[in-house]
Amino acid sequence: MADTCYYKGTKILLVLRRNARGKWACQFTIPGLTVPAAGKYEGHPPKEYETELEAETAAFERSKKILDASHQGTGESGFLRKQHG
């Protein structure tokens, strides 16, 4: 299941996972931000978290920094979350 967020008009997909130790991590994908080899940007924060919210927030914050550095996206800053099944 993925959550869809938007930052400055750019879509960000967040996918949470829980490991065997009970810690949370969240991978993010920025479909509109292309990289030469992959066609889209994917990543995750470099650590694991105690809660789903901490992991998701860290992934969203990291993706925002990447978008800001790449000068991608236009429009208002903000967070809109839609859940996909």
The number of residues making up the chain comes to 85
Whether 85 is in a domain gets the answer no
Q: Which domain holds residue 11?
A: 3-73
Interatomic CA distance for residues 55 and 47, integer angstroms: 9
Whether 57 is in a domain gets the answer yes
Whether 82 is in a domain gets the answer no
The pTM of the full predicted model, rounded to 2 decimals, is: 0.73
Interatomic CA distance for residues 77 and 54, integer angstroms: 20
Whether 79 is in a domain gets the answer no
* Cα angle for residues 34, 6, 52 (degrees, 5° grid): 100
Q: How many structural domains are present in the chain?
A: 1
Domain with 23 in it: what CATH number? Answer: 3.30.160.350
- Along the 85 residues of the chain, how does pLDDT read in single tens digits? 789 999 989 999 999 999 999 999 999 999 877 765 555 667 777 789 999 999 999 999 999 988 888 864 444 344 444 455 4
